[in-house]
Amino acid sequence: MPRFLLQFDPTAGTQLLQQLRALAVPLVFPRPLFDYVVVEIPALLAAQLSSLPGVLRVEADKRMGIFPVAVTQELQQLLQAGPLSLLTNPTIMGFRPDTWPTGQSRLVVGAGIADADGITGKGVKVAVLDTGNDPSHPQLLGNTGQSMIKTQPLAYDENGHGVHTASTVAGAQFSHLQGMLQGVAPGAELIIIKVLGAGIGLGDWSDILAGMQRAAELGAKVISMSLGGDDVTDPEASEFRVVRQLTERGIICCIAAGNSGPGSQTIGSPGSAPDALTIGAINKAGQPADFSSRGPTKLNLVKPDCTAPGVDILSGSTGFIAAYRFVDGLGRFAAISGTSMACPHASGVLALAEEYARRRGLTLTTPMVKEALREWYDRNPSNNVGYGVITYPLLKKFIAETF
């Protein structure tokens, strides 16, 4: 049965719920998500609900998911050598020269300087909305998760994408054969919420919406979302409205740009939301990754806003991805590429900067981050990389010299 989102007048929410229950309309969630009620009804009946008192508009739910894991040109060349090469090539079997352990990639965004400052993201809550969690993983021990997916009430990550992104944000130190692994903000408090499932990381926008609301209720300062779907042209679409509402509450929505580059107008939604902090990917050379989605958005906005490391990032993983990349560490780690890997680097930077801001009696906001990017990068933004790499020193300097 298809789902629909009913946007309602906030003054009429209680009355609308009573009407829907009286009409025996199935509610996906027992209470509203922001100013939306999610229902499951035949498409032919959806338009009729728009006439109910208090309903402002009816919007069809959307399918979203993790962006396809990017295959870099270097890895593609190795794969094209054939199956035998996968078993015999030493660059495949655990020692690929292009692998970028998080212990190294985190230094690009200034985490080493934060370490020297005694800044780890302590006390800052970062919600990772993704494919779930593995509390037994050595980089995430003690972190519990929760699921917004009714058919998958357990938050276990059968895909591996969620563990990878969470480990990149705040994973504990782990000594891997290919180098030290560590999250950008190892002291941050992770809130891991499963909003995508089906093994391959697909889900409904309404479940993601529920995860965003839960994250806000649990006190998340940063919501990290390495996911998305097709861009939209309606400025009042729910993706844009909810990101705007969270931003107005002081919560930073850090969202991956997508892996559909290098063509223009390939930014995914909700990363295309004007109020989102949208993250593209760079490689070890500091260049934009070929796959990293480019702007402008369909509303002609410059995106991404900034970039972070996202090529062959070696971090914790599990499930399908770790099994596919078994050579990266016995089913517990994987080196993969995508703006999905760049996004948690940026989310970690935001946690570091927020701890620094709190020490000065301040709190970081999305407008502050975007102003810092505008003020301290000596060039105009581009639809390839936005303003460039987001770093802790950049935000630290802005906070120290502006406030």
Of the ranges 77-91, 119-133, 245-259, which one carries the lowest mean pLDDT score?
77-91
For residue range 193-206, list pLDDT tens digits in order.
Answer: 999 997 889 999 99
| Residue 299 CA: distances (Å) to CA of 55, 162, 188, 239 | 26, 30, 34, 14
Selecting among 161, 164, 176, 345, the annotated active-site residue is 161
Q: Are strands 252-256 and 222-225 parallel, antiparallel or unpaired?
A: parallel
pLDDT for 331: 66
- CA pair distance 206, 67, nearest whole angstrom: 18
Selecting among 61, 105, 130, 293, the annotated active-site residue is 130
Q: Are 339 and 279 in contact (CB under 8 A)?
A: yes
Summarize the confidence of residues 346-370 as an average pLDDT. 98
Tokens representing 397? 């300097």
pLDDT for 178: 87
Q: Is 161 a catalytic residue?
A: yes
Q: Are 151 and 121 in contact (CB under 8 A)?
A: no
| Residue 231 CA: distances (Å) to CA of 22, 234, 267 | 36, 9, 7
For residue range 302-351, list pLDDT tens digits in order.
Answer: 999 999 999 999 999 998 888 776 556 566 899 999 999 999 999 999 99
Residue 103 has pLDDT above 60, yes or no: yes
Q: Give just the sign of the alpha carbon dihedral 123, 124, 127, 132.
A: negative
Output the average pLDDT for the chain.
91
Q: Give just the sign of the alpha carbon dihedral 307, 208, 122, 164.
A: negative
Residue 88 has pLDDT above 50, yes or no: no
Write the DSSP symbol of residue 35. Answer: T
The model carries a pTM of 0.94
- CA pair distance 318, 314, nearest whole angstrom: 12
Q: Are 323 and 331 in contact (CB under 8 A)?
A: yes
The candidate with the shortest Cα–Cα distance to 61, out of 80, 81, 43, 85, is 43
Q: At what angle are helices 339-359 and 161-170 packed, to 10 degrees?
A: 30
pLDDT for 326: 57
Report the percentage of the chain scoring pLDDT > 90: 82
185 vs 78, which has greater pLDDT? 185
- CA pair distance 35, 133, nearest whole angstrom: 29
pLDDT for 180: 95
> Which residue's structure tokens are 């999610």?
38
Neighbours of 101 (CB within 10 A): 21
For residue range 39-57, list pLDDT tens digits in order.
Answer: 999 998 998 999 999 999 9
Selecting among 176, 340, 345, 347, the annotated active-site residue is 340
The candidate with the shortest Cα–Cα distance to 335, out of 178, 174, 123, 145, is 178
Confidence of residue 33 (pLDDT cuts 50, 70, 90): very high
Residue 72 has pLDDT above 70, yes or no: no
